[in-house]
Each structure stands twice: as structure tokens, then as C-alpha cells.
Amino acid sequence: MFIDQAVITVQGGNGGDGCLSFHRAKYVPKGGPDGGDGGDGGSVVLTTDENVNTLIDFRGTHHWTARNGEPGRGSQQHGASMPDLIVRVPPGTIVHDNETGEQLADIGPDQSFVVAKGGRGGFGNEHFKSATNQTPRQTTPGEPGERRTVRLELKLIADAGLIGLPNAGKSTLLAALTRARPKIADYPFTTLSPQLGIAEVDPSRRLVVADIPGLIEGAAGGAGLGHEFLRHIERTRLLVHLLDASGSDGAAPAENYRTIRDELAGYSPALVEKPELIVLSKTDLLPDGADEIVRAMRVELRLGHESEVLAISSTSGEGLHELLEAMWRAAHPRDDRDTGWD
């Protein structure tokens, strides 16, 4: 199951109390103060881990508490400070204060964020001794650890997001490109949450591909899966518009493309600025091939030479290698290596 949001409560460990103690020995009737300081409480630290892809670990664990520091003891013994509680999250995790909505952190690869600081240990009475105060009875308690409720949200879930109307063939394409096994059926909304898979362009290049739940007209206003669908799209580098070339839904591919674009623009103008690929699927169902429908698509949408329209069949495998190469180039525009097709 893909989980991309979670609300958790984090609690830093309390600092240990300082100790009130005086040295006592058989031949030392007036021993001095020897109460040690308390140890520091552990902090709760969010650390990104490339092997973690979702926030599913937080689904059943909503409270994360670091250990309290030990109190000080006599004989000048300081209490032990506790280690930090390390909580592993996917790269691209955004941390919000759940009460105020303030963004606290945007944690990228190999980064950490202290989400709840542990309290400092208190001072024992040894700390307060001086020439004018040789028998101090003053100590301080440990500071309480920081406590807050935060909302974790994934900013980026995939390199490429497969989008399209229901039954456009997104789940079938994901299964063809990767080892993912999404539910595939001939009814709308087979996919209710994003499904992730790893597509291997070649042994040195891999893409994280997400099958995003199907879109319907009115999604920007909340219809169907609505804002959930559009929120997932925000977290992909590249949009792959999958359009049914067979016309099985009774609409032309160009018309379906416009429907998708209108919903993206209605939710956030930034979405229509994302890099995109236009892909005609189910070409194995076209008796005369896809060339004519590709030309008609380019003319109707007034696409320039720089805009690619790819034709594929997830069933036969036709065009899938070319699609992977195009996805890689669009998702990694700064990779200037020669990645020519075979």
C-alpha cells in the first residue's frame, strides 16, 4: 500500500534531574557537595533513507518518543545522556506543524532534521559550590523534551507519473515496464492509490514510475478521486499522458488530452508547466497502425517538432524501449551522456 501522508506525535526525552548529595566518609565528617548533573534526553531526528519509498511505517505507529536522560547521582556521578531516536523517512519528505500548518523542513537525500529536541539535564548541587557557598542545597530539574504533532508529506514520489482517464491502460503499462503487479481490470478506478515500480532503462539507469489513479472531468473541483489524484501528480518530475488510441471510450485522443490538461490547470497552473510526454496506448488494436492517428494528433494539438508523440502497445511491447528512453531524457535533462537507442 502506498502511503504519502502521515500525522505523528514526537516527544523528545526529558533531561535528568540534578542530584542533591554530600560526600560522607568515616573520617570526613564535613564532606563537600557531590551531587552530579542529570543526563540530556534524546532528540527525535528524521533522517532520509533511499530504501524507504512510502510513509507506511507511520500507519500504525503514531507516537515516537525518545528516552529520558538519567538523573545525577552522588559521588559526582553524572546521569547518562540518551541517544537520539532516529526515524527514517523517504527523501523528499516535507514536515509541517500540524497545528499551525507552518512548514518546518523539506528533507532531501542524505539529510536529517531534529523534529523534537531532547531536554538538557539539570545541575546537581556540586555545580553550585563556591568559596562563599560550600554547602549548596540548590539543584535544578531536567528540562522537558520538546513535544509536537507534525504532518509528514511526500513531495516527490516518482520520476514519472502515468496519468490519463480511467481505463487508459496505465496499470497495464506499469506492469509492462516494471516488476510491479498493480490490479488490472476493465472498469474505472481499478487503481485507488499510486502504485510504484522501478523501470530499468539499462543496467546503469533506472526510473521510479508511478501509476496515478485515473482522472475524470471535474477532478479539480473534487469529483471522483479529485484532489487526491492531483496532489499525487505534484510529486512527480515528469507527466506521461497516456491516451487510448483505440477510441474504446468513444472520444478522440486529442479530446481526452485536453480534458486532462484542463483539470491540471484548474487545480494548479504549475502542473501544466511540468515536463510531459504524450503517449498513445493500445496501438495493437489499430488495424492500420498508429502513424495516421499520431499525425492527426500533432495537427489537432498544433504540436511543434520538439514535442514528441509516442505510440506504444503494453501488450505486444511495441515502442516501450523508445518510451523509456524518452522518459529518461525528460526526467534527467542535465544528463548529457549518449543514450542513443539500440
Q: What is the pLDDT along the chain (342 residues), one digit of tens a residue?
A: 456 778 999 999 999 999 999 988 777 667 789 999 999 999 999 998 877 777 877 877 899 999 999 999 998 899 999 999 999 998 888 899 999 989 999 888 889 999 999 999 999 999 999 888 888 999 999 999 999 999 998 776 678 888 887 777 888 888 888 865 544 444 344 444 567 778 888 888 888 888 776 554 443 344 334 345 566 666 788 889 988 887 766 678 888 888 888 877 877 777 788 888 999 988 888 877 778 888 888 888 888 777 788 889 888 888 899 999 999 988 877 654 443 333
- Beta-carbon neighbour count of residue 145 at 10 Å? 27
Tell me if 210 sits within 8 A of 242, measured CB to CB. no
* CATH code linked to domain 1-155: 2.70.210.12
Q: How many CB atoms are closer than 10 A to CB 221?
A: 12
The set of cell numbers assigned to 269 is 497552473
Rounded distance between C-alpha atoms, residue 40 and residue 86, angstroms: 16
Tell me, what amino acid is at 301? Answer: L
Looking at the chain, the domain(s) classified CATH 3.40.50.300 span 158-331
Beta-bridge partners for 47: 88, 112
91 CB burial (10 A radius; 0-12, 13-18, 19+): middle
CATH topology for 158-331?
Rossmann fold (3.40.50)
Q: CA-CA distance, 72 to 124, in Å (whole number)?
A: 7
Q: Where in the chain is the domain with CATH 2.70.210.12?
A: 1-155
| pTM of the complete model | 0.58
- Core vs surface per residue 167-188: b (16+ CB within 10 A) or e: bbbbbbbbbbbbebebeeeeee
